[in-house]
Amino acid sequence: MAEDLSSLQQIQGQVKWFDPAKGYGFVVSDEGGADILLHVNVLRNFGQSSVADGARIEIVTHQTGRGVQAVEVISIQPPERDDTPVLSDFAELDMTSLKNEPLEPARVKWFDKGKGFGFANVFGRSEDVFLHVEVLRQSGLADLQPGEALAMRVIDGKRGRMAVEVLAWEAAMLPGGEI
């Protein structure tokens, strides 16, 4: 049976909440109405396994018998933030200039949301890069899975190499990306 495409609608909204452990969350449309189900598989098709609460999102939705569901993610923008450094390690750094650091391809070694941190490895390098949960949130992500491909801006911090921004690999490949 062919899918009825007449109920597809592209909307913009905000992530109300997303729980990677449950595999779903909800989006609130700028137009109002019922919450929109966002399943982890739809996010994975976009190239990431989580999204931060409060992130701006553009999605294609479909009306089902159980409500409105996202079927495709078009774009995600991290939650609004001020320029206050997210970690004390960044307090003396010029946050604007950090955006000029190159994006480096990396893969998640491990990440524990409960502990609030984890590590990744930049391709071609053996040293670990520290990933803090607040950097993830500021980057629009909520959690990471082992083996997940990323693009990161990395600095030599007080305690070694650390990520100052984390993007889904596919997001870094968009026009204007450096990879």
What does the pLDDT look like over 7-64, one tens digit per residue?
A: 789 999 999 999 888 999 999 999 998 999 999 999 988 888 888 888 899 999 999 8
3-state DSSP assignment of residue 6 = helix
| Domains 5-77 and 88-172 belong to one CATH topology | yes
For residue 174, pLDDT beyond 60: no
DSSP 88-155: GGGTTS-HHHHTTSPEEEEEEEEEETTTTEEEEEETT--SEEEEEHHHHHHTT-----TT-EEEEEEE
What confidence score (pLDDT) does residue 41 get?
93
User: Measuring CA to CA, which residue among 37, 31, 2, 33 is closest to residue 16?
Assistant: 37
3-state DSSP assignment of residue 55 = coil
pLDDT band at 168 (very low <50, low <70, confident <90, very high): confident
Which CATH topology does 5-77 take? Answer: OB fold (Dihydrolipoamide Acetyltransferase, E2P) (2.40.50)
- Where does residue 172 rank: exposed (0-12), middle (13-18), buried (19+ CB within 10 A)? buried
The region that residue 90 occupies, defined by phi over 0 for left and psi between -120 and 50 for alpha, beta otherwise, is alpha
What does the pLDDT look like over 104-157, one tens digit per residue?
A: 899 999 999 889 899 999 998 888 999 988 888 888 888 888 998 889 988 887
What confidence score (pLDDT) does residue 1 get?
40
Per the CB < 8 A criterion, the answer to whether 122 and 154 are in contact is: yes
Superfamily of domain 88-172: Nucleic acid-binding proteins (2.40.50.140)
- Tell if the pTM clears 0.75, that is, is over it: no
For residue 178, pLDDT beyond 50: no
